[in-house]
Amino acid sequence: MTHVRPALILAVLVFALDQATKEVVLAVQDSLPVVVLPFFNLVLVWNPGVSFGMFGGDKALEPWILVGLALAISIGLLVWLARERDRVTALAIGLVLGGAVGNVVDRLRHGAVVDFLDFHVSGYHWPAFNVADAAIVVGALLLVAESFMVRKKEAAS
Would you name the residues annotated as active-site residues?
A: 115, 133
Beta bridge partners of 45: 115
Nearest C-alpha neighbor of 70 from the set 116, 106, 17: 106
> Cα separation of 154 and 38, whole Å?
46
The secondary structure of residue 142, as a DSSP letter, is H
Neighbours of 79 (CB within 10 A): 10
Q: Which DSSP string do the residues of 73-141 spell out, in sequence order?
A: HHHHHHHHHHH---HHHHHHHHHHHHHHHHHHHHHHHHSSEEEEEEEEETTEEPPPB-HHHHHHHHHHH
